[in-house]
Amino acid sequence: MNTAPLARTRRGAHAAVSHDSAMGHVTGRAIYLDDMAVPPNTLHAALVLSGHAHARIRRIDLTRARRAPGVVAAVTAADIPGKNDIAPILTGEPALAEEVVEYVGHPVAAIAAETMDQARAAAALVEIDYEVLPAVLTVDEALEKGHLVAPEQKMVRGDVDAALKRAPRRMSGELRCGGQDHFYLEGQIALALPGEDRSMQVYSSTQHPTEVQHGVAHLLGLPFSAVTVDVRRMGGAFGGKESQATIIAGIAALLAWHAHRPVKLRLARDHDMEVTGKRHGFLFRYDVGYDENGRILALDMVLAANAGNIADLSPPVVTRALCHADNCYFIPDIRLRGLACKTNTVSNTAFRGFGGPQGMFAIEAIVDILARRLKLPLETVRRRNYYGIDRDNVTPYGMTVEDNIIHRVVDELESSVDLPRWRRDIDDFNRTSAVVKKGLATVPVKFGISFNLPTLNQAGALVHVYTDGSVLLNHGGTEMGQGLFIKVAQVVAEAFHIDVSQVRVSATSTGKVPNTSATAASSGSDLNGMAALHAAEQIKARMAEVAAARYEVPAAEIIFKDGRVFAGNDSMSFGELAHACWRQRVSLSAAGFYRTPKIHWDAKTCTGRPFFYFTYGAAAAEVAIDTLTGELRVLRAELLQDCGRSLNPAIDLGQIEGAFVQGMGWLTMEELWWDDKGRLRTHGPSTYKIPGSRDVPPIFNARILADSPNREATIFRSKAVGEPPLMLALSVWLAIRDAIASIADHRIVPELDAPATPERILAAVNQLRRAAS
Amino acid sequence: MPALRFMLNGEWRSEERASPTMSVLDYLRTVARLTGTKEGCAEGDCGACTIAVACPDKDQHAYQAVNSCLMMVGQLDGLSVMTVEGLARGDGGLHPVQQALVDTDATQCGFCTPGFVMSMFAFHQAGERITETAVHEALAGNLCRCTGYRPIIEACRRLAGLPPFVQPLAKEDAERLAVSPDEPVGFTAPRSLGALASALAARPQAWLLGGGTDLGLLVSKERQSPTDVISTARVPELKNIAVTADALELGGAVTYSAALPHLDDLFPAFGALVRRIGSRQIRNLGTIAGNLATASPIGDTLPCLIALEARVVLRRTTGARHMSVEDFITGYRKTALAPGEFIETICIPRLAGRQRFFAYKLSKRFDQDISAVIAAFRIAISGGKVASLRAVYGGVAPTPARAKALEMVLTGHPWNSEALAAIDAALARDLSPIGDHRASASYRLDAAANLVRRLHADSSGDEPSVRLEAL
């Protein structure tokens, strides 16, 4: 079933088909949640947020708000009929603050009114009496005080203390990378419609309809079956609508429950950025032992994440950071300690890469520092540390790297760009340019695919064939722009050997496919593609039986090809066969299911095989900095990404380019800035800057690695692509370090954290100048 | 009942129900039920709400991209408005801009797409030459979080050579639009200088609206509903631009976009800097007088105008008075404007003799970002010495700050590297920056000094500095 199909003109698997909604996008006809026509009695909601980072709620007075024009319902935690808990993993994470508020922006109450403006105006009338408590605002302080949201995770191999002592060279230090706001263009939104007989229909812009279903059911004290959650598409998500959407949908449903009317809650951008979590900023403390050749012998590292006020998804984010702190390198003796630190800031959450980018940031910084100390080319040091094919091929968590192609990927990238010559050009430029300095760096990436928690690696699909041969596909995955719907439709088209235009994808609904996992961890097409294939294959087998009986041949001789079904020279159209099946009373509907094989994980020891496979990539980037001002420009980026046998090269290319630019934003201009009261001051696009078109390198080439089918039996031997290319942007950050180091002729190691804003770049330049003089 | 009249996607619309001070974005989405135009931020920074408007008294091809979130419905009066829904052809075929975006796989989540479509539509309609710079300038007001822009840029390139697709306004439509309709209650757009002065004199508490890129935020984000708005946009005298033998004179309602060609001509560094103010959408609405009247310490034009010794003409019913821009700014967001008074003209003297003008802006992102530091210098070098210097900074004090100590230590001295040794101490006396989310105080001070070093490289003649933009 998993043999690769042949190339053909029919648009099935591996074809570069456009996004299924492209026409809807460009004409404005694609319907997002806020565009939906709503029942005329729909109310609009607003949140009341904490203005304190940490405070006890003494009293909440809703009287004035309730009397305000248009107000129909006003709720606090006390109005929750069920359990005030929407924790995705642990427990005790309230939708509305109870007793204490733990960050500025913590939702305390919510209002539903006839209009949005009335709701927002009434929200301002809610009076809350607080007893202000001391707040912990930084990861450093949380670390010092031992404030954690979850127990420490430890990944250990060998005797790191002894190995550090033995190592010919040793260095230690501290590094930091910032967080990142998702800045999906469509803000968080949900619409809740109370149904008959204590039920609730919810439309939510969510990556995880099942979690919204559970959250709403918990809050309202309903069985899961009474809550149905639908999502057709999101205007971007990037992890920000994995658990965070549940807060919004839960509060909308609570208001709808009390008002007995539909309620829409759409956050204004400022509230969206203040209320909902972001990528975790990390503090790293490392102690590394190595030899004169740059071989890493031992690494002892603390990875401290700013989890914010609650656990949310922080524990698995930290796990993934630990699982990627090796990147492509074999480190014989290693001890990684992962800490999810509790601070009085917004609770950080999933964001494309899910801790992986941060883990990789640390090890790439360390390798860069030790290469610079040894005055060896970075690429040489890396090669001396890459995982081997037959030896030195076991990760710190005990998984053997069986599919290692990093050598090939790096070789192909380096030769395609003529790295030595590129390096010479950079050096030549820097010799004659006093103020503007250029830098160049590459980066290799290895990223593990599967949710770390094996349970989550399952998916369902529901396929209907109608009697005219048209196909309706539903699966548990959600469309956030990444092209999942078209990819899975291509899989089904491939199975039936019909054109993808015959396959329609319907909105994701918990009423159709139950108990789903989040569309996350890059796994959308891997999981849902397989589930859909399973469903389609069942129907196809039944259809083949009917055709076999009709043509009096064995079912094995029935061939589905290009929209027709053949038995030798006889044939009929796919639709004719579907109609024949109906006449014969043969079911044309099937549910498919998939669970990823081979994986296992022991969370206690941080060991196992968490990943079905790895995906690989490499990038090279050239930057220029102005050493008077710290201004930066990325001039060129060359990317090479392993997609296995790409299910859709057009979609995958879009993921690669988009992820790279997003990663570039994280590492350069995107800066989350809190003041000393714990207020986020970068809470809209006027203050929080994501890359614009001019920031994209003028020379920007992204390529998909050719002839590289997945070694594992994934859907048509493709590989996941959503997250891995984000980390290719580390090349930009490393290139900035290179540009700075050029000031002192690469004799001194620059001190640069992320994001590399003009200010940080100028500080690093000044540090180098001082050290050099 | 007085009504607003405008054309929406080629059809006449007479609007009586909607409040003229409602945001255009809300109007489109909730009243007109055209939901293709999106709200991404409601602060004019993401571009998802971009629409295009044409003014019949101008070039009728010239649809301009604007942020519908920052506009009030009253501002549509007399305009032809195009939204994403109006672009597809009658036969259902796509507009070339839309087709190009489909062909290049330039949509992912699609939420930003209608905004990009409209920015590209206006760009294409104007028949601008398609260069890298022009494309980025046209797209700078639109954020996309999914694609990484490469395919969108590619789609822009594919527009090269295609003729404008939307027909200009029919003559009779243009004439009908130009006719002054009844003014709706609460939103006045006087049609002469005298009428404006009278209106303001009668209602000095009314919101005086220029382009609305600042005041619009109060409606869009703060959800305020002003009951009395007086717009400068339809006063012909305030749209005047005069290039005289001595000066460039800009009327009080001249937008950044309208001023740009003249700034490029007379003060190229000013023009280059204005191109980094907001985005095209903002510059098509926002006025230079508005930037000045806002009197923000981070208003980008202010240091330039002060360095250039610009003057303003302030008018009210009782007459006009003149003053320097430097005196016009009286404090943090405070000006010398008296009740009932407005800016009639900004007068920027031409550079004289050996004077040269330089302006630098520092921000986290090149385009559409608020400055951490802005520096404007008018310098004259004679015989290797600084003959005169006016140095003005923004972002480093509660108001735009004249760096007088710096001017003093440099003026009259040889313009060489020894001169640079004294600048840090001088600027420490001149400037009192604060640290905030844009930059720390120490960065602002360091960078302010380094911009003098950049000025030195650019003006001392031996070797102009290489700029990142040029690479």
C-alpha distance from residue B403 to each of A229, A675, B352 (Å)? 61, 29, 21
Chain A residues in contact with B88 by the CB 8 A cut-off are 27
Gap between the Cα atoms of A229 and A420, Å rounded: 55
B222 to chain A, any CB pair closer than 8 A? The answer is no
Ordered structural domains, chain B, with CATH: 1-180 (3.10.20.30), 186-350 (3.30.465.10), 356-470 (3.30.390.50)
Closest CA to A568 of A581, A550, A553: A553
Q: What is the mean pLDDT of residues B124-139?
A: 94
Mark yes or no for CB contact B468/A626 under 8 Å.
yes
Contact A268 B88 (CB under 8 A): no
Longest CA pairwise span in chain B (Å): 72
Residues contacting residue A569 through CB under 8 Å, at least 6 positions apart: none
**What are the structure tokens assigned to A146, written together?**
């031992």
Q: Does B3 touch chain A (CB under 8 A)?
A: no
Neighbour tally for B173: CB within 10 Å? 16
pLDDT in the model for residue A7 = 41
CA distance linking residue B262 with residue B285, whole number of Å: 17
- Residue B316's beta-bridge partner residues? B319
Smallest CA–CA separation between B143 and chain A, in Å?
A: 6
- Which residues of B are less than 8 Å from A28 in CB distance? 34-37, 83-85, 113-114, 117
The one catalytic residue in A131, A141, A723, A759 is: A723
Total beta-carbon pairs less than 8 A apart between chain A and chain B: 269
List the single residue in A with minimal CA-CA distance to B134: A694
3-state helix, strand, coil in chain A (%, to 5): 35, 25, 40
Supply the pLDDT for residue A195: 97
Asked whether A578 and A584 are in contact (CB, 8 A), the reply is no
- Write out pLDDT tens, residues A653-665: 999 999 999 999 9
Separation CA A266–CA A298 (nearest Å): 50
pLDDT tens for A189-212 read 999 999 999 999 999 999 999 999
Residue A746 has pLDDT above 90, yes or no: yes
pLDDT of residue B181: 62
* A638 flagged as catalytic: no
What pLDDT shows up at residue A72? 98
Residue tagged 């006003």 (tokens): A74
What are residue B413's phi and psi, to 5 degrees? -105, 155
The pLDDT value given to residue B164: 75
Domain A22-30+458-595 has CATH 3.30.390.50: no
pLDDT over 70, % of chain A:
99
B81 to chain A nearest CA, in Å? 16
Give me the sign of the Cα torsion angle A116, A119, A120, A121.
positive
- The phi and psi torsions of A517 (rounded to 5 degrees) equal -95, 165
What pLDDT does residue A769 have?
95
Please state the φ and ψ torsions of residue A703, each to the nearest 5 degrees.
Answer: -130, 150
Give residue A367's pLDDT band: very low, low, confident or very high (50, 70, 90).
very high
B225 chain-A contacts, CB cut-off 8 A: 117
Q: Is the pLDDT of residue B463 over 90?
A: no
**B68-91 pLDDT per residue, tens:** 999 999 999 989 999 999 998 767
Q: Given this model, what pLDDT does residue A503 score?
A: 97
- Which chain B residue is nearest to residue A236, measuring alpha carbons? B109
B458: nearest CA partner in chain A: A435
For chain B, give percent helix, strand, coil, nearest 5: 35, 20, 45
| The token pair that represents B66 in the structure block | 């604007």
Residues of B in contact with A684 (CB under 8 A): 41, 43, 45
The answer to whether the CB of A626 falls within 8 A of the CB of A435 is: yes
Q: Note whether B242 and B252 are within 8 A (CB).
A: no
A289's enclosing H/E stretch is strand A282-290
| A528 HSE (CA, 13 A, CB side) | 34
pLDDT category of residue B2 using cuts at 50, 70 and 90: low
At A761, list the tokens: 């770049």
For B12, phi then psi, to 5°, come to -65, 140
| A35, A182, A631 member nearest B35 (Cβ) | A35
Q: Chain B interface, mutation test: which of A20, A21, A25, most B Cβ atoms within 10 Å? A: A25
SS3 A615: strand
Query: Which residue's entry shows tokens 């809050």?
Result: A219
* A-interface mutation test, from B9, B108, B123, B463, most A Cβ less than 10 A away: B108
Distance from the B361 Cα atom to the nearest Cα atom in chain A, whole angstroms: 10
pLDDT at residue A6 greater than cutoff 80: no
What angle separates helix A406-417 from helix A378-385, to the nearest 10 degrees? Answer: 160
Cβ-Cβ contacts under 8 Å for A174 (sequence gap 6 or more): A283, A284, A285, A286
> What local confidence, expressed as pLDDT, does residue B462 receive?
66
DSSP codes joined into one string, B213-252: TTHHHHHHTS----S-EEE-TT-GGGG-EEE-SSEEEEET
Minimal Cβ distance to B362: which of A182, A631, A671: A631
CB A94 within 8 A of CB A109: no
- This complex has an ipTM of 0.97
Q: What DSSP assignment string belongs to A707-733?
A: S---SS--GGGB---SSGGGGGGHHHH
Q: Contact, A693 vs B157, CB < 8 A?
A: no
Q: What is the 3-state secondary structure (H, E, C) of A43-100?
A: EEEEEEECCCCCEEEEEEECHHHHHCCCEEEEEEHHHCCCCCCCCCCCCCCCCCCCCE
Under 8 Å between Cβ of B169 and B72: no
Out of A601-605, A606-610, A683-687, B456-460, which region has the weakest mean confidence (pLDDT)?
B456-460
Identify the DSSP state of A33. Answer: G
Residue B352 burial by Cβ neighbours in a 10 Å radius (0-12, 13-18, 19+): exposed
**How would you write B286-323 as a 3-class SS string?**
CEHHHHHHHCCCCCCHHHHHHHCCCEEEEEECCEEEEE
The verdict on B312 touching A (C-beta cutoff 8 Å) is no
Environment class of A415 (CB within 10 Å of its CB; exposed 0-12, middle 13-18, buried 19+): exposed
- Determine the distance from the C-alpha atom of residue A321 to the mean position of all C-alpha atoms in its chain, rounded to a whole number: 13
Q: Strand A503-505: give its sheet, edge to edge.
A: A503-505, A471-475, A458-465, A589-595
Question: Residue B141 carries which DSSP code?
Answer: T
Does pLDDT of B56 surpass 80?
Answer: no
**Residue A269, min C-alpha distance to chain B (Å):** 5
Residue B450 touches chain A, beta carbons under 8 Å: yes
Whether A527 contacts A457, CB under 8 Å: yes
User: Could you report the per-residue pLDDT of B301-344, keeping only the tens digit for each?
Assistant: 999 999 999 999 999 999 999 999 999 999 999 999 999 999 99
Number of Cβ within 10 Å of residue A609's Cβ equals 18
Confidence of residue B58 (pLDDT cuts 50, 70, 90): low
Task: Using a CB–CB cutoff of 8 Å, tell me whether B98 touches chain A.
Answer: yes
Q: What letter represents residue B218's amino acid?
A: L
The tokens of A154 are what?
A: 């430890």
A-chain residues within 8 Å CB-CB of B144? 185, 693
Chain segment A49-88, per-residue pLDDT in tens: 999 999 999 999 999 999 999 999 999 999 999 999 999 9
Q: What is the tens place of the pLDDT at every residue in A179-191?
A: 999 999 999 999 9
Question: Phi/psi class of residue B423: alpha, beta or left (left: φ > 0; alpha: ψ in -120 to 50)?
Answer: alpha
What rounded mean pLDDT belongs to chain B?
93
Asked if B316 has any chain A CB less than 8 Å from its own CB, the reply is no
Which of B166, B140, B130, B9 has the alpha carbon at shortest distance from B81? B9
Residues of A in contact with B29 (CB under 8 A): 34-35
Do the beta carbons of residue A214 and residue A204 sit within 8 Å?
Answer: no
Q: Find the mean pLDDT for residues A580-599.
A: 98
Output b/e per residue, A617-638; b: 16+ Cβ within 10 A: bbbbbbbbbbbbbbbbbbbbbb
| Extents of the domains making up chain A | 22-30+458-595
Pairing of strands A699-704, A632-641: parallel
